[in-house]
Structure 1
Amino acid sequence: MAFIDDVKANAKSRMKTIVLPESEDRRTLVAVDQILKEGFAKVILLGNPEKVKADAKAWGAEITGAEIVDPASSDRLDSYVAELVELRKKKGMTEEEARKILTSSNTYFGVMMVKKGDADGLVSGACHSTADTLRPSLQILKTKPGTKLVSAFFIINVPNCEYGENGTFVFSDCGLNQNPTAEELAAIAESSAESFRFLVGKEPKVAMLSYSTKGSAKHDDVTKVQEATRIAQEANPELLLDGELQLDAALVASVAALKAPGSKVAGHANTLIFPNLDAGNIGYKLVQRLGKAEAYGPMTQGIAAPVNDLSRGCSAEDIVGVVAITAVQCQLYG
């Protein structure tokens, strides 16, 4: 069974409700059709019900069974306005401003649904930037208790691949932190290992990636990854984590034997921590486009409830997959 099929089966075991703010997007409505047919999540769409239904019909999407909520006329609006004013009062938020935000931004309204328990998680980003998705999440939901850093990862599933966990990997951070410090890289590694363990159900083997392996090159960028490795290992001595490793040393056993003999991670890594956002973003897109991999994300880790972003180049099938993963993440929150 493919990775995403396992995820959908897990999602079905404890059904969760996911809110999708981008009802104006064809891919979203086509995805909802498939989600409802497969029955692994309940769906709330935000928008004018008549327009959403008309668009769905025009695009051949059957969305009967999805709840459609118009933020401007919702009976929840007043309570959401009061909540937003309370949350942002130190920033000078007024009732008028809160009402304007919640009726003009479906994402803000959707995040408030998650905050108030009217939905379990949110998926957005098919036609909005990462900032548009994460800003309301951080303002309203805040960070998960004990979280050192909010970061973003992709679940990558490469067909017919002998590496990783039968071709399944976590790539991180590929969507949020531009140039993390050593301490931040260590926190990203810790969160990514937890995400791999929970979503894939296997033991994470974490590689701290660099263009150097075990001191083969000297540079401040290499030193940063070495320090991040030390911090992560000291904080998580039970975790299989090693670095700094070049990508081939992280994945290929024969290369690992030459470049990093004795490493328990080299040659077997399934959780790849990139040294900066440039490397992570380029890396996942190369594997997705040239390796024809399924790439689900960017998923967030560290927010107080599951809110996940989408690449604006995503397909309807990508949205289906991210909703399934989000639904399983929701199970971790209760």
Structure 2
Amino acid sequence: MDVMEKIYHKAKERPARMVFPEADDSKMLQAAFEAAKAGCIRPLLVGNPAAIKELCRENELDASLFDIYDLADESLQEDLMSQYADYPYAIFKGKSLKRRMTDPLYYALVLTAIGKADAAFAGISHPTGDIILAGQSILGLKEGIKTVSSCGIMDIPGFAGSEGQLLAFGDAAVCQNPDAQDLASIAISACEAVQALFDWEPRCALLSYSTLGSGSGELVDKVTDAVRIAQEQRPDLQIEGEFQLDTAVNPAAANKKISGTSRVAGKANVLIYPDLNAGNIGVKLVQQFAHADAYGPMITGMNKVISDCSRSAPVSELVGNIALTAVQAMY
């Protein structure tokens, strides 16, 4: 059973209520339908019910699989706003919230905040920046987390790591130049994500060109400070570094370069890149030369689960990321 088969199986055990604010897009509607038909989710749509049902007819989709929230129903909107007023991280209220709820994305996130939905899924017609801004505004960040980030999973043919061919990584999509506090938040969020997805015991390595002081400079200092902050905030998690990549995942390299004991070196299953340049290049190197599959990215760090998909993603990829999001939300 490959990684996505495991995810689909887990999603079907506890199908999440997932809200889709881009129900006017036929590709997103198709993906939501296929995920629902497979038993991975219970889909909620936000928009114009008549237009959504017509789009379902045009695409030969069974509209009865969807629960539809009418964006124009003012009495329902007022009820949702009243419930959201009690949300502990609410920033917008009254008229400022009412204006934003004319946007299906903000409406969907209010549904998620108040527990009507377990997760929100978007990205076909909303840029990443808009989704993150809306998520931070409506959902808020988890306690102790400074920044929104992302986490992904690589399935690397021929790699024999502590979790077989799988490695989790972050952040390769959101934070361009994280500081030490940001990196600590990224590491903590990535650990929590893999615990939810795979029931792994996270062994998290913060990467650098240095291993435990073998190099020096501002870039190394940032990573070592991040390790210290993460360990202070979450002593229950195995977060170590700074490590070079080979030290993190290769037991022979770890034995040669580290004199003391380490819970992570040589057997890391979560890798944290020092910045977006390293993360983007690292993921693409593994994809191009090792022919790895990279799943995600999943947005991490918010109080509720929200996923941002690629605007160019095919339906099959959307369905896979819907399943990943469902598992993240329910476990």
Structure 1 length-normalised TM: 0.85
Provide closer, same or farther for how the CA distance between residues 33 and 150 of structure 1 changes in structure 2, counting only shifts above 3 A: same
Residue 13, structure 1, aligned to residue 18, structure 2: no
* Residue matched to 1:119: 117
| Deviation by residue 1:266-318 (Cα, 9 ceiling, x = unmatched) | 22211011111222233334434554433333323332211122233333222
Give yes or no for contact 1:123–1:322 (8 Å, CA) kept in 2: no
Counterpart code for 2:194: F
Moved more, 226-235 or 77-86: 77-86
Query: The residue matched to 2:188 in structure 1 has which SS?
Result: helix
Q: CA deviation at 1:61?
A: 4.9
Cα distance in 1 for residues equivalent to 2:288 and 2:243: 24
Q: CA deviation at 1:86?
A: 8.5
1:194 to 192, 195, 218: 192
Counterpart code for 2:111: M
**Identity score, percent:** 36
List runs of 5+ in structure 2 lacking aligned partners: none
Cα distance in 2 for residues equivalent to 1:241 and 1:321: 28
Q: CA deviation at 1:28?
A: 1.4
Cα distance in 2 for residues equivalent to 1:159 and 1:312: 27
2:230 to 206, 229, 232: 232
Counterpart code for 1:10: K
* Residue matched to 1:68: 68
* Residue matched to 1:305: 304
* Residue matched to 2:166: 168
Cα distance in 1 for residues equivalent to 2:237 and 2:115: 34
Moved more, 236-245 or 211-220: 236-245
Residue 329, structure 1, aligned to residue 328, structure 2: yes
* Residue matched to 1:131: 129
2:218 to 217, 220, 223: 220
| Deviation by residue 1:88-116 (Cα, 9 ceiling, x = unmatched) | xx988652x5444222x211110011123
Please provide the CA RMSD for this pair: 2.9
Give yes or no for contact 1:298–1:311 (8 Å, CA) kept in 2: no
Cα distance in 1 for residues equivalent to 2:118 and 2:145: 20
Give yes or no for contact 2:149–2:174 (8 Å, CA) kept in 1: yes
Residue 283, structure 1, aligned to residue 285, structure 2: no
* Residue matched to 1:51: 51
* Residue matched to 2:202: 204
Query: The residue matched to 2:311 in structure 1 has which SS?
Result: coil
Cα distance in 1 for residues equivalent to 2:203 and 2:246: 15
Provide closer, same or farther for how the CA distance between residues 236 and 305 of structure 1 changes in structure 2, counting only shifts above 3 A: closer
Cα distance in 2 for residues equivalent to 1:17 and 1:274: 32
Query: The residue matched to 1:152 in structure 2 has which SS?
Result: strand
Provide closer, same or farther for how the CA distance between residues 86 and 196 of structure 1 changes in structure 2, counting only shifts above 3 A: closer
Residue 274, structure 1, aligned to residue 293, structure 2: no
Cα distance in 1 for residues equivalent to 2:231 and 2:91: 39
Cα distance in 2 for residues equivalent to 1:164 and 1:119: 35
Cα distance in 2 for residues equivalent to 1:289 and 1:60: 37
Counterpart code for 2:192: E
* Residue matched to 1:258: 256
Query: The residue matched to 1:76 in structure 2 has which SS?
Result: helix
Provide closer, same or farther for how the CA distance between residues 256 and 130 of structure 1 changes in structure 2, counting only shifts above 3 A: same
List runs of 5+ in structure 1 lacking aligned partners: none
Cα distance in 1 for residues equivalent to 2:234 and 2:77: 44
Query: The residue matched to 2:101 in structure 1 has which SS?
Result: helix
Give yes or no for contact 2:144–2:185 (8 Å, CA) kept in 1: no
Moved more, 117-126 or 150-159: 150-159
Provide closer, same or farther for how the CA distance between residues 86 and 249 of structure 1 changes in structure 2, counting only shifts above 3 A: closer
